[in-house]
Amino acid sequence: MPEVRLVGPNGEQVGIVPIAKALELARESDLDLVEVAPTARPPVAKLMDYGKFKYESAMKAREARKNQAHTIIKEIKLRPKIDPHDYETKKGHVVRFLKAGDKVKVTIMFRGREQSRPELGYRLLQRLAEDVDELGFVESRPKQDGRNMIMVLGPHKKKAEAKAEAKAERAAREQEQESAQG
């Protein structure tokens, strides 16, 4: 006669019982008999409300997904002959993205004769990497891809840390405003 190691609804050990007896206990207590460890000898079964169990595990999975940070790759495009002011503006965007914990793909687009001078683009990417060194690191070195040169910068901070920091800053600002008004 096949037997199972039965675990009660509150996690207590009932012992090794025949399957028929386990099913009978489940019917009496108006619960489901769920096999939790089929490879064990004898298999382990538990008395539980299966619908409630499914609902709770779905809620846990949903909560885990909610707290998970998605890595987003932001893209900035530059030209080799960029104006100093435009460079500063683009650098500001890169800084903002890295502070938010996002990766940044920096693309330099070459047109016409500029393609014969890839070192201009390389130098520009090196300069940008040095300028944002305290916020991010070069994840993939500059490489030529047709008429573009691409480099990826990764943030030093994780997305979750950046979110928590931004939230704390916002709370501090609101506190400051309230104290100034009151």
CATH of the domain at 153: 3.30.110.10
Residue 177 domain-assigned (yes or no): no
Shared domain for 81 and 142, answered yes or no, is yes
Q: What is the pLDDT of residues 14-63, one digit of tens each?
A: 889 999 998 988 898 899 988 888 898 889 999 999 898 899 999 999 88
Residue 126 domain-assigned (yes or no): yes
Over residues 121-146, the mean pLDDT reads 89
Domain that holds residue 128: 73-159
Residue 29, classed as helix, strand or coil, is coil
Q: What is the pLDDT of residues 97-131, one digit of tens each?
A: 988 888 999 999 999 888 888 888 899 999 999 99
Q: Token pair for residue 15? A: 């012992």
| Distance (Å, whole) CA 55 – CA 60 | 9
Shared domain for 37 and 111, answered yes or no, is no
Do 41 and 1 form a contact (C-beta atoms < 8 A)? no
Residue 18 domain-assigned (yes or no): yes
What pTM was computed for the model? 0.56
